[in-house]
A and B are shown apart, each in its own frame.
Chain A
Amino acid sequence: MIANEPEKNERQIWMGLLARAAPERLQALLQDLPPHTLLRGPEVGAVMVRGRVGGTGVPFNLGEMTVTRCTVQLADGPAGHAHIQGRDKRHAVRAAVVDALMQTDRAYALRAGVLEPLAAHETATRALRAAKAAATKVEFFTLARGEDA
């Protein structure tokens, strides 16, 4: 379920998932964080979102979005990074810690305990919206005219 984005590496997939997750949902799945130091942030800032002229042409600046970033280092362990939408600093720290833990031998447990449930919830939410949209799809039919009968 997580690996349905074939062009992305594993780390890109989990970082994206963490960034898109609702803060309270991630917190519920991972209550306690292991000891870590903050190397940068958590810092709230803005990222300029770009579009393309005509959808396919040269880039233009559409507007900014709020983003919080954080880099942590586990005691005796790897560094973890997070850039997450919104202004929730605790969420950014938690996402960065998960990114770091995913590079340790806890990865297997985290995948089952945190990432899979997040992905399942996201997939279900998306599927529900798509299903509601599908219900509003127009099924055209043409009335038979007399001369064609």
Chain B
Amino acid sequence: MIAEALLGGFASAPTASARVFRAALEAMARPGTIWTVEGAAPPAPLSIAAGALVLTLCDGTTPLHLGASLDTPVLRDWITFHTGAPLVAAKAAQFALGTWADLMPVTRFAVGLPDYPDRSATLIVEMPDLGPHGPRLTGPGIATEAHLTLPETAAFRANRALFPLGFDTYLTCGNRIAGLPRTTHVEAV
């Protein structure tokens, strides 16, 4: 295992992961809001935010798909050492990590079963930019409407149409995260 991969985990996992989990929860509950997280120092090019989400949400029982642009030996080792998550193909993934280009076509990811809609993938999408502007978001957790930079709208509209099935998405950039659950209506503006 590459020595660098042993570094950059949470200094105090219980408190750090609780804080990141709270941010992740808020982000998913209030689509369009942007939260900052800290504590992770993953190898480049993974962002702090995506690294913190992986450390918090993944473990040995959550198969993870690593996008091609992130699939480096040191990052593989970092994820394995700090989370134990098995690295798998898109179809078998509970979590997927990559740029939007990496993850396309997103129809490859699990959307759950009618009996168990929760058996679906959560995408963690690395964004070049993340801000409260762009497509309009409406739906649960949004008082009137919100705006968020999204890589596109068509894929999220198609995903919304599958409800109660569908994947959920985190968008990450630097140390910031936003959530886009399957329940959110997305419209280009």
Chain A positions within 8 Å of B, measured between CB atoms, are 39-41, 43, 71, 73, 79
Contact = CB atoms under 8 A, between A and B. Distances in A.
Interface string B2-23: 0100110100010000000000
A38 to B, nearest CB: 8
Contact of A43 (B6, B13, B81): B13
B3 A40 contact: no
B82 interface: yes
CB-CB nearest 10 A-B residue pairs: A39-B6, A79-B6, A40-B9, A71-B6, A39-B7, A43-B13, A79-B3, A40-B82, A39-B9, A40-B81
Interface residues of B, number: 7
Majority SS at the chain A contact face: strand
A116 B106 CA distance: 56
Contacts of B3: 79
Contacts of B81: 40, 71
A39 B7 CA distance: 6
Contacts of A39: 6-7, 9
Contacts of A71: 6, 81
Nearest to B3: A79
A71 B5 CA distance: 12
Nearest to B14: A43
A71 B6 CA distance: 8
A39 B13 CA distance: 11
Given A39-B7, A73-B6, 10 more contacts: A39-B6, A39-B9, A40-B6, A40-B9, A40-B81, A41-B13, A43-B13, A71-B6, A79-B3, A79-B6
14 contacts: A39-B6, A39-B7, A39-B9, A40-B6, A40-B9, A40-B81, A40-B82, A41-B13, A43-B13, A71-B6, A71-B81, A73-B6, A79-B3, A79-B6
A20 B11 CA distance: 27
A77 to B, nearest CB: 11
